[in-house]
Amino acid sequence: MRVPVLTYHSNNVGGNDYASNDHVALAEDLARIHAAGFRIVPLSRVVAVRLGLADPASVENAVALCCDDGSWFDWHDMDHPTFGPQKGFAGILREFGAASGAPVHMTSFVIVSPAARAVLDRTCLAGRGWWTDAWWADAEREGLIAIESHSWDHNHATLPETAQRDGRRGTFRSIDTHAVADAEIRQANDWLDAHVRTPRAGLFAFPYGETNEYLLRDYLPNHSAQHRLLAAFGTDSRPVGFDSDRWNLPRYVCGHHWQSSDALVRLLGARG
Ligand SMILES: [Zn+2]
């Protein structure tokens, strides 16, 4: 088992070329991934195989796709105030699926707290109400984009306060006690189960790709009855294999681990 997990950020719109825009990058990468003979499988299947719950043959020659933060740019076609019309990730996936006949799926790791998103909409986007969760249940129903947790409030540096009460924001390494881990991780799963999805053991992606010994060795393995996660993802640059840490599964990040479709194809080809 060696499955690359590719991560995109739909809020990354700083121009209209591959390097500055993850929508351009995703559309180009989908075509190249397909032409190189890879198929797209749901991230939940990769986790199921890693945990011995599904047949490894079901992820042969496969990649899985995910995106982070959960804004409207994942779902809606948007008119960016500076860079003009942007097709949402959902539309890019549907268009590619229709043209290629290939199955498509993406997992969106969303920032769950409505109050945190209302602030982030102003501090990180254009302040136009583009970070509401109005589309999440529709996405779950359609089955194209699965909604999973990227924590309660991302412990984001631009929020006036977060679950991390000591003010150590802008990092996830400071989520290092039971109380704050419970507020960031268990609380987020509770909200998603109550508002968006059929209650289930979920997936988690660490904000900033950052974690710590407390989360990896104590909270995640020892408190699963509370947090109800199946697995968590960081951002180590390697494919998911049977030897990957269930609580820190690797993901490649667009713009960070690869900067062009050529580089992505090389990265996939080197997967051994
Ligand atoms: Zn994030």
User: What tens digit of pLDDT does each residue of 224-234 get?
Assistant: 999 999 999 99
Alpha carbon of 218 to ligand 1 centroid (Å): 23
**Most distant pair of Cα atoms in the chain: their distance:** 51
| pLDDT confidence of residue 269 | 85
Those residues whose C-beta lies under 8 Å from the C-beta of residue 180, and which sit 6 or more positions away, are 163, 164, 165, 174
pLDDT of 270 higher than 70? no
Q: How far is CA 129 from CA 53, 67, 123, 152, 182, in A?
A: 40, 20, 12, 18, 28
3 near 25, Cβ under 8 Å? no
148 near 204, Cβ under 8 Å? yes
pLDDT of 272 higher than 80? no
Alpha carbon of 150 to ligand 1 centroid (Å): 7
Mean pLDDT across 153-169: 93
Strands 106-110 and 62-69, by their bridges, are parallel
Write the pLDDT tens digit of every residue in 228-255. 999 999 999 999 999 999 999 999 999 9
Query: How far does Cα 78 stand from its chain's mean position?
Result: 20
Strands 5-8 and 62-69, by their bridges, are parallel
Alpha carbon of 70 to ligand 1 centroid (Å): 9
Mean pLDDT across 60-72: 98
Mean pLDDT across 148-167: 94
Q: What distance in Å separates the CA atoms of residue 213 and residue 173, rounded to the nearest whole number?
A: 9
Mean pLDDT across 68-73: 98
Q: What is the CATH number of the domain that holds 158?
A: 3.20.20.370
Q: What distance in Å separates the CA atoms of residue 241 and residue 246, rounded to the nearest whole number?
A: 10
pTM above 0.85, yes or no: yes
pLDDT of 271 higher than 80? no
Q: What distance in Å separates the CA atoms of residue 100 and residue 93, rounded to the nearest whole number?
A: 10
| pLDDT confidence of residue 7 | 98
Q: What distance in Å separates the CA atoms of residue 252 and residue 261, rounded to the nearest whole number?
A: 13
pLDDT of 45 higher than 90? yes
Percent of the chain, pLDDT > 70? 99
Alpha carbon of 156 to ligand 1 centroid (Å): 9
Alpha carbon of 68 to ligand 1 centroid (Å): 5
pLDDT of 192 higher than 90? yes
Mean pLDDT of all residues belonging to the chain: 96
Write the pLDDT tens digit of every residue in 175-184. 999 999 999 9
Alpha carbon of 208 to ligand 1 centroid (Å): 6
Domain residues for 219?
Answer: 5-269
Work out how many domains the chain is built from and give that number: 1
| pLDDT confidence of residue 167 | 87
pLDDT of 9 higher than 70? yes
The helix/strand/coil state of 267 is helix
**Surface-to-core class of residue 69, CB atoms within 10 Å of its CB (0-12 exposed, 13-18 middle, 19+ buried):** buried
Alpha carbon of 27 to ligand 1 centroid (Å): 21
At residue 126 the predicted structure's pLDDT band, cuts being 50, 70 and 90, is very high
